[in-house]
Structure 1
C-alpha cells in the first residue's frame, strides 16, 4: 500500500514529524519532574531501562536509549557517581559491564515513575481508555516496524 504522495505530504500528516513533536513536547513538559530529583529525563530513562530489565549491560543501555557508546559511558559514570547504579564485570567475559540499580537508584526511579504516571493521567483525563490503548498499540506497531527496518538495513 502506498499512503503518502508528493501532493499530499505535509507535517500535519507526517508520522515522523508528529512522533518528533510528541517526543519533544512530552520531554519538555516532564523534565521538571526529574529536576526535582536532581536528574534529567535521560538519566531517569536509563534507570528505568535497568529497573525493567531492558538493559542489564552498558551495550544494552546504549541500544535501548539510542545513544552511542561514549555518551552511554558518560551517562553511566554520572549515575554511578550519584550512587544510583553499580557496574560489575561479568565473570565469564570481562569486557561486559553489568549494570544494577542501587537501593537509592531504584527509589528515585520509582518516585519519578509515580510522578510521570500522575502527570500523564492528568494530561489524558479527557481521553477514553480505548483511545489510549489504540494509540499505545499503534505506537508499538510503528516501533516494531522501525526496529525491523533498522535491523534489516532498510535505510534510505
Structure 2
C-alpha cells in the first residue's frame, strides 16, 4: 500500500461509503459537496492507494441462523514461525472463523467464531480446531449479546 494521507473531503467520502457502499457516484458527490467527476476521481485514488480495499454486503448473522458467537483463545505448544504459519493456514480455511488475531499475553490467538448452535460449536471445536497440529490449549467465552458492533472505521483521526 502506498503512502496516502486522506484530506477532509476524502474522509467525508469514506464516511459516506462506509454508511452505504451502494450509493451512486451522483449521490456520493452531492453528499460530500463535490461535482461527480472529481468525486469519482477521489474514489478511484482511494481505491488505488488501498484505502478502500473492497466493497461488501453486511449480512445479519441472526437472519441466516448464525446465532452463537464464540470468542476463542488458543495457545500453541510452540510459537516459532513454522508453527504459527501452520495454525494460521488451517484457521483461514475454517468458514466459522470470522476473525483471527495473533495476540500478546496468555493466548497466542484470539478468534471470533460464528455458528448455528452450541452443538455446531462443539463439532467445530472437537473435530476441527483442536485437531490443528500444535494446538495446546483452547479457552472459549460465549457472547450473550452484542453491545457495540461497528464496521465503519473512524475517519476523524486520519486527515
TM-score by length of 1: 0.32
TM-score by length of 2: 0.32
Say which structure is richer in helix: 1
Say which structure is richer in strand: 2
Query: Larger RCO: Structure 1 or Structure 2 (Cα < 8 Å, ≥ 6 residues apart)?
Result: 2
